[in-house]
Amino acid sequence: MPESQPRPELSLPPDPDRFQKQLEALKEISWDISSAQEVDVILPQIMKKVTQLMKADRSTFYIVDAQRGELWSKVLEGEQSVTIRLRVGDGIAGWVAQTAQVLNLEDAHADPRFDRSWDQSSGYRTRSLLCMPILDRELRVIAVIQCLNKQGRRRFNEEDEELLHCIGAQCAIALEGAVLYDALLQKNRALQRAEERSRRAHSELELLYEVEQRITEAPDLPALAADTLERTCTTLKVEYGGLLLVDDKSADSFVYRMGSKGVCCKQIDLRSARNLLLQARHATHHERDYTGVLTDVLVLDLEESLLHETFSAPLSDGKSTVGLIQLANRNDSTQSEEWLLRMLQLLAAQVARGVVSKREREAAERAERLDLLGHSVSAILHDLRTPMTAISGYADLMANEDNQETRLSHVEKIERALSHMESMTHEVLAFARGQREVFTQKIYLHKFIEEVRELLIHETNKYRVQLVIQPEYDGAARFDQTKLKRVLLNLARNACQAMNEGGTFTWKVAKENERVVFECSDTGPGIPQEMEGKLFESFASYGKTNGTGLGLAMAKKIVDAHCGSISCKSEPGRGATFRIELPL
């Protein structure tokens, strides 16, 4: 049997009660450190317990900021927490942070590394000192713990160093966790800021897009102002919005209140409006001054008591200022002044471009209507020749006609020609004004064909052109007969003028797939190549001395207004055929 080994004797601490108290204190410090998510908040309380455990006069815990090359800590001065900072390498704590060595001094003032300025400014006398680095897993100094003035002895001993080392190890673990937690918090804050920026950017883009759409779709400037103010106030969460539009002749003010139905609009004095524009050269934000007055209420025609702040921006497209926009009273306190002003500037530039564009378009339309009116007068004078020829012809026949019934028939035809002249005049002027209305009614084609024949026969005879009518369908259809007469007369006249040496003009009426079809054919030279692709455009004319270029353009617009179609087939030397299809 092998001899049994002697059992080692257990060594007890010299003072079991003190050792037990130290363990309890370490547990408390460990719990405090591990439960603290923000170390700088709990540091003063932990250092108070460390001071008691180490039987020191006071203790300080410095955290190393490697990026800034500093140490910082929070100490209690009375009931206030004060942050102190020192550079790495300066003083005892700075030297320990730089060298990662433990420093245990019996007389701190005898060491040249000690900074006496703290004692001199505070009146405190530092004697013994124990300063220890706290290392992370990669043995980098992440903190320094320092205890001053050991109670009851001249200096800290090895047992104190071991105890402080235990405390430092717990602090190292907690500090690394706190750094990770702080990094996580920073990332979460960064994500929240990014999400907020993304949300605002999306909101900005959505607002700008919708305002652009409303500007584009608005039929006139009052509608543009109303739509813009309503959308802007809703999205930017402000109580009031105002818009001032100024041109060479007038100035209009528009005011909108959140939740109201519609926009209040009124004209204001032009000179006053221009003075307002001079005051609004830049985007501005104003609040009530110490006297309770708002100095920049430029647009909003409201009681001043209702307003406590305004945001204003000029409507400028870079070339001229056409007005200004103003918002008042934020409903959302999280909207910053800078963000609202930036959004208002973007909106102001967008609205300014829309206003300038609409004004230019309206000016162009007015000029075009005046131009159309001039051409229309020429077209009327030219086109009146056809019914005038018919009237003259029937008047001659009446002069040589003794039969009362025949004379009454001629009178009836003259009245129809006069009625056609009147409707033709109204139609051309309506075209110049941009009107496209048609008044459809049930038409019996046999009667309509006869009335058109009476007009066409005089036109074709004048040009020595044979008129051929092929009524394959003479039932009922629905269309505006006055306007359709005009279309057919224009097609016949164009054909006759193209056949200057005589020929044949054929008008065929048929029914195909629940649609009435008019085909007008001639035996002329066909459509010139120069007219290909622009046959139905206004003022498109070729080879006609007195042509206005309005006939086929008006014909197409009339057919389009009937939800029909008009097309042309032509071969050089073989004439042209125009086909009109209208729904029954």
Give the residue-averaged pLDDT of 488-496: 89
Q: What confidence category does residue 234 fall into, taking pLDDT thresholds of 50, 70 and 90?
A: confident
Tokens matching residue 248: 């060479």
Residue 407 covered by a domain: no
* Both tokens assigned to 343: 């959004």
Tokens 């012809």 correspond to 393
Answer whether 249's CB lies under 8 Å from 266's CB: no
**Residue 1's pLDDT band (boundaries 50, 70, 90)?**
very low
- Which of 315, 340, 361 lies at the terminal end of a domain, its last residue? 361
Contacts of 392 (CB under 8 A, 6+ apart): none
Largest CA distance in the chain: 168
The whole domain housing 51 covers: 16-185
Q: Tell me: do 308 and 450 sit in the same domain.
A: no
Determine the pLDDT at residue 308: 84
Measured between alpha carbons, how far is 31 from 147 in angstroms, rounded to an integer?
Answer: 21
Q: What is the CATH number of the domain that holds 515?
A: 3.30.565.10
CA–chain centroid gap for 146, Å, is: 59
Q: Would residue 378 count as lying in a domain?
A: no
Q: Residue 426: what pLDDT?
A: 67
CB 420 within 8 A of CB 387: yes
Q: Of the residues 361, 382, 414, which one is the last residue of a structural domain?
A: 361
- Between 561 and 178, the higher pLDDT residue: 561
Torsions phi, psi for 517 (to 5 deg): -120, 125
Report if residue 421 sits inside a domain.
no
Q: Are 288 and 294 in contact (CB under 8 A)?
A: yes
pLDDT in tens, 381-402: 556 666 666 677 777 777 677 7
Number of domains in the chain: 3
Q: Which residue(s) pair with 477 in the sheet?
A: 443
| Co-location of 486 and 548 in the same domain | yes
Out of 117-131, 293-307, 455-469, 497-511, least confident range: 293-307
Strands (E), 110-169: 129-135, 141-150
**CA-to-CA dists, residue 469 to 382, 476, 507, 508, angstroms:** 25, 17, 5, 6
Contact 519, 510 (CB under 8 A): yes
Q: Are residues 164 and 45 in the same domain?
A: yes
Residues 516 and 456 in one domain: yes
β-strands 141-150, 56-65 pairing: antiparallel
Indicate if the pLDDT at residue 127 is higher than 60.
yes
Q: What is the DSSP code (8-state) at residue 419?
A: H
Tell me the average pLDDT across 108-136.
Answer: 90
Instruction: Specify the pLDDT at position 407.
Output: 75
Reply yes or no on whether the pLDDT at 238 is more than 80: yes
* Mean of pLDDT values over 68-95: 83
**How many residues are listed for the chain in this entry?**
584
Q: Note whether 157 and 234 are same-domain residues.
A: no
3-class DSSP assignment, residue 86:
strand
pLDDT value of position 334: 81
Residue type, 519: E
Quick one: which of 302, 305, 296, 304 has its CA closest to 324? 296
Same domain, residue pair 162 and 228: no
- CATH of residue 107's domain is 3.30.450.40
Q: What pLDDT does residue 406 have?
A: 77
170 inside domain: yes
Q: Which comes out higher in pLDDT, residue 533 or 118?
A: 118
118 and 240, same domain (yes or no): no
Q: Over the stretch 42-63, which tens digit does the pLDDT of each residue have? A: 666 677 778 888 889 988 889 8
Residues 520 and 506 sit within 8 Å (Cβ to Cβ): yes
Distance (Å, whole) CA 510 – CA 21: 116
Amino acid 278: pLDDT: 80
**Helices H / strands E in the chain, number of each:** 13, 19
Of 142-146, 264-268, 321-325, 547-551, the one with minimum mean pLDDT is: 547-551
Instruction: Tell me whether strands 321-330 and 309-316 are parallel, antiparallel or unpaired.
Output: antiparallel
Tokens 């309503």 sit on residue:
230
437 vs 273, higher pLDDT: 273
Is 296 in a helix, a strand, or coil? coil
Is residue 305 domain-resident?
yes
Does pLDDT of 306 surpass 70? yes
**370 alpha carbon, distance to own chain's centre:** 36
pLDDT the model gives residue 153: 86
Kindly state the average pLDDT of the residues 232-244: 88
Within 8 A by CB and 6+ apart from 554, the residues are 427, 428, 431, 486, 487, 490
Percentage of the chain modeled with pLDDT above 90: 21
Whether residue 146 is found in the same domain as residue 283: no
pLDDT of 352 strictly over 90:
no
- Above 60 in pLDDT, residue 2? no
Indicate if 154 and 255 belong to the same structural domain.
Answer: no
Q: Is position 423 within any domain? A: no
Helix/strand/coil percent split, the chain, to 5: 50, 25, 30
Query: What is the phi/psi pair of residue 422, to 5°?
Result: -65, -45
The Cα 131–Cα 145 span in angstroms is 6
Rounded CA-CA distance 171/173 in Å is: 5
Sheet with 103-105, side-by-side order of all strands: 80-87, 70-77, 56-65, 141-150, 129-135, 103-105
Domain shared by 23 and 172, yes or no: yes
Q: What is the pLDDT of residue 274?
A: 84
Indicate if 181 and 229 belong to the same structural domain: no
Question: Is position 213 within any domain?
Answer: no
Q: Residue 318 pLDDT > 60, yes or no?
A: yes
How does DSSP assign 515-584, residue by residue?
EEEEEEEE-SS---GGGTT-TTSTT---S-TT--S-HHHHHHHHHHHTT-EEEEEE-TTS-EEEEEEEE-
Residue bearing tokens 């009426």: 509
Which of 185, 208, 236 represents a domain boundary (last residue)?
185
Residue 417 resides in a domain: no
At 406, list the tokens: 């025949």
134 and 244 both lie in a single domain: no
